[in-house]
Amino acid sequence: MPTQDKSLENLRHSAAHLLAAAVMELWPDTRRTIGPAIENGFYFDFEFTQPISEGDLPKIEKKMREILPSWDKFSRHLLTAAAARKEYPRNPYKRELIKEFSRGGKRVSFYKSGNYWDLCRGGHVKSAREINPEAFKLTKVAGAYWRGSEKNPQLTRIYGVAFNTQAELNQYLKMTGEAEKRDHRILGAELKLFTFSDLVGPGLPLWLPRGTVIRDVIEERAKKVETEWGYQRVATPHIAKEELYKTSGHIPYYADSMYPPMKLDDGNYYLKAMNCPHTHMIYKAEPHSYRDLPLRYAEYGTVYRYELSGTLSGLLRVRGFTQNDAHIYCREDQAEEEFLKVMKLHEYWYKEIFGVTDFYMRLSLPAKDKKKYIDMPKGWKKSVEIVQSAMQKSGLRYVEAEGEAAFYGPKVDFQIKSVIGREETASTNQLDFLAAERFKLAYTDADGKPKPVFVIHRAPLGSHERFIGFLIEHYAGAFPFWLAPVQAVILTLNDKNKPYVDSVAKTLREKGIRLEIDERNESIGKKVRDAELQKIPYLLVIGDREAAAKTVAVRERGKGDLGAEPLEAFLKRAL
């Protein structure tokens, strides 16, 4: 969950208890599970004996408001595991948590307010009177697997939002209403960009022609920009032997997120979950001297990760995706400057290319518990120093987060926000000191001795899937002209002017404009409405007058009818 005010987090967690209390009064035979605070609100997962729907939410909200005046402080109680289990005689979910929380003979904590109490680690308001009855709302009902695994029972999740004031709630609801209009899953279907198939599998998107145009345009531009910034293109296969990922350390550290191995006659092969080990083999294909560095190898590499089905979300969380990836091999004295250039490349992409100005960096450092990380203290210290120094010199906004580093080094996530405030991790960038040791990645220094390289992993646009999902919502499907899958559509009034229509289409296509022609036997009003729903930047109407005058009647998205003009004038306007 993104960082939020602790008092607000406590308020939302307390509201989750209030939700559970209302549900238990309305449906006493329900089994409760967990109810955490999340960004902007809270949720609680239940196992109901009979299904409920969003039509039940007003009834639950009403009960929450009835209960609230009887609540005051949240009092903490410690129980032994045996005593705690007695509170949940027929609830396997709570019993599982009790077993987990009471390891080593620990007592488990319960929190009580009014007549309701529940197993809970804490984090509440001092008094339930801090919960404003006019500043919370239940928003939706959804399915959710216990602990996010499809192997477990499916539960009913009730979501809610909570704020300090009714004005804040109203502003949030207004914003979410706008967000629903921009939902990339809905717009993706309406604009014919992508689809999913049960026969292909969950989390594996299929790109339709228009969506493929967007992918290709971004990729072509990225290749051009990266060439200008000193990158060389490489390409690697989609699978590799198990030994490669053992050498990299992804097995065992990352194995749970990889697809199961394919057993072949010469050993196990895995679908590629990351590009870096493959690219290291390209670096090792020939010897390098200090004069060769830095080497910047870029690849649009498709990878596959076995995300839990309960976490999949349109294009934003998938199992197969193509990364705008690159690996930079450099000397230690070059690492800071190279990392700084990487951050400046991100800034260029977000601000100059896509017009995204609200973004910041999150530096992820290792947790105090070092079991998840490679035991190389000197490497960690040096890497963190290099990254922190580069971030400070960048002048870009950043925060630090403990416990989110990769197992082989600190990482920097670029967090971007759309115009409606939706935040996504656009890319992850890492300084890797481990690869040189594991893969023997070295160069010959000026003194003739081998020295280890530093490796920078970077992907300014992250995955095509997630980034395009973000852009769909950011632009509300109305892509800028250079990125629009269809840049102009010719709308005909009749069949008599086909030779002129064809000549206009030929000229536009020769100029590189992505064009469609609507020759349906429909009214011009319907054709205009349909094209506007597809959010096409320019509509060009051609009838008898336009054919005779050798003009096109232009309608521009967001501006309406601009009148008739010669084709050359339109081209000057569009290009």
Give me the active site residues, please: 276, 305, 323, 325, 327, 411, 457
Say whether 276 counts as a known binding-site residue.
yes
SS3 state at 549: helix
**N-terminal to C-terminal alpha carbon distance within the chain:** 43
Q: Residue 294, preceding bond cis, omega within 30 degrees?
A: yes
Cα 244 to chain centroid, rounded: 28
Residue showing tokens 């995706």: 321
For residue 351, how many other CB atoms are within 10 A of its CB? Answer: 12
Cα dihedral 259, 264, 268, 270 sign: negative
Cα 250 to chain centroid, rounded: 22
Is 439 within 8 Å of 248 (Cβ atoms)?
A: yes
Distance of alpha carbon 183 from alpha carbon 117, whole angstroms: 38
Say whether 238 counts as a known binding-site residue.
no
What are the C-alpha distances in Å from 543 to residues 138, 298, 519?
Answer: 53, 49, 12
What are the C-alpha distances in Å from 118 to residues 16, 84, 371, 457?
Answer: 11, 10, 32, 45
Task: Return the structure tokens found at 235.
Answer: 């390409």
Is 148 within 8 Å of 310 (Cβ atoms)?
A: yes
SS3 state at 297: strand
3-state secondary structure 77-139: EEECHHHHHHCCCCCHHHHHHHHHHCHHHCCEEEEEECCEEEECCCCCCCCHHHCCCCCEEEE
Say whether 184 counts as a known binding-site residue.
no
Q: Which residues of 506-516 are buried (b: 16+ CB within 10 A; e: fewer)?
A: eebeeeebbbb
Report which of 447, 377, 374 is spatially closest to residue 405, judged by C-alpha positions.
374
Distance of alpha carbon 537 from alpha carbon 300, whole angstroms: 29
What are the C-alpha distances in Å from 328 to residues 339, 388, 564?
Answer: 9, 18, 52
Helices and strands of the chain, counted as H and E runs = 18, 28
Annotated binding-site ranges for Zn(2+): 276, 327, 457
